[in-house]
Structure 1
């Protein structure tokens, strides 16, 4: 059972952000990251909860939109008791341009952006920082198969995966590492091993995925669609 820490300020985090927060709380017990990077942070609710709960030595908020980063920094500075300045940094930057200290362990969070954006950022980070001291929590808004396909091809290791339902939508939260599968985790698959046939939300999510790829197959515009559809159709038969 993962440790769920109470967050006094943001006890109303939605299910998606709460699920990511819980993964981070669990991760810090076993892997001890020096820096946690909340990329594409938007309003910063997740990062602020992490800072308030002191889950890491330093949390770095990252957003490429200047006024979003500036507004967030003002909000943090207005409440120094809740958000001590030494525990965070706010950067206006593209997530793919970040500089990581090779002497530290890093956890990068990419949530609320498209699967294509997630793959592009992870690919760039891995190219510029190949040492293996950077792990990722990924929660894209779409194209999960494409994200998983990339991670499998690059031999990422699965540390945890889950499905989260929020406001009639479903998300996957993937915690992955470029490390050795034998010592750090399990093998990542293209469609996931977290499916529970008795879980109504899993049923709904899988039905939507299957319906999507059935439409793609009927449209005839993607040669991969039939194979992807067959993979998802077998998720409950394993």
Structure 2
């Protein structure tokens, strides 16, 4: 009798271990990791227009933002592309998320200038986690393909950008491009601060973002003061080491912004 009880307990343990292993390895039920505040903000912006036909998550790195958007837009048939030009990153994504690659998700190893845009479609580009100069370079490499699209009332090209540095350079570059600023916002994430911009391709009379931003600074907060102080310190040091017109203009612009917001 004792042997029978032990045997049944052993079988139950084996069954439990099998079920746990099946659960751990089941690709259908593994949830995606949560997005951090910076990416949550971009996700919420993207969800304002849930009927995008195509979403391009460029410099996708871990691919989380694009994967969350793919999961959220399944009902709309949105095709999400996770795009990076670093082969190990793409290889890892293709292995890790092979089970999620359906007809509406692609993981691509390609530089931005080789992207093939859909015609007569609402398309969203997301560029986050790289410097402002890199963001500007990526947009410039995509722009010829955008400009080559035949005009259509069904066409809309939007961009969500979240540079991690060199924002003044990016804003300067955007002022020479045919994009209108739809919205901008200041986002804090674990002590790091980001300037987010929502842009729309508008070749006729675009309204680009200003050099240092406008709406994102209101209300003026302590986090924004700290961020502006860091920029003033950065461009102050650059102006001493390399007194170029650009560095001095950036320094003057942020000093004027601080005075406008905080009276200092």
- 1:200 aligned partner: 222
- 2:209 aligned partner: 188
1:219 alignment partner, one of 206, 218, 241: 241
Cα offset, 1:94, TM superposition: 0.9
Larger-Rg structure: 2
Alignment of 1:145 onto 2:168: yes
Deviates more, 1:44-53 or 1:162-171: 162-171
84 and 65 in structure 1: CA distance in 2 versus 1, 3 angstrom threshold: closer
Alignment of 1:162 onto 2:179: no
The question of whether the paired residues in 1 share the 8 Å contact of 2:56 and 2:82 is answered with yes
- 1:23 aligned partner: 45
The question of whether the paired residues in 1 share the 8 Å contact of 2:179 and 2:207 is answered with no
Q: Aligned equivalents of 1:67 and 1:198: distance in 2? A: 42
Deviations 1:116-165 (A, max 9, x none): 21111111111232048422111112110111111112242101111112
The question of whether the paired residues in 2 share the 8 Å contact of 1:42 and 1:68 is answered with yes
Cα offset, 1:115, TM superposition: 1.6
- 1:65 aligned partner: 86
Normalised TM-score (structure 2): 0.76
Q: Aligned equivalents of 2:222 and 2:212: distance in 1? A: 18
Higher helix share: 2
Q: Aligned equivalents of 2:116 and 2:43: distance in 1? A: 23
The question of whether the paired residues in 2 share the 8 Å contact of 1:158 and 1:176 is answered with yes
Alignment of 1:42 onto 2:65: no
1:228 alignment partner, one of 236, 240, 250: 250
Cα offset, 1:192, TM superposition: 0.5
- 1:120 aligned partner: 137
Cα offset, 1:235, TM superposition: 2.1
235 and 197 in structure 1: CA distance in 2 versus 1, 3 angstrom threshold: farther
Say what the alpha-carbon RMSD is for the aligned residues: 2.4
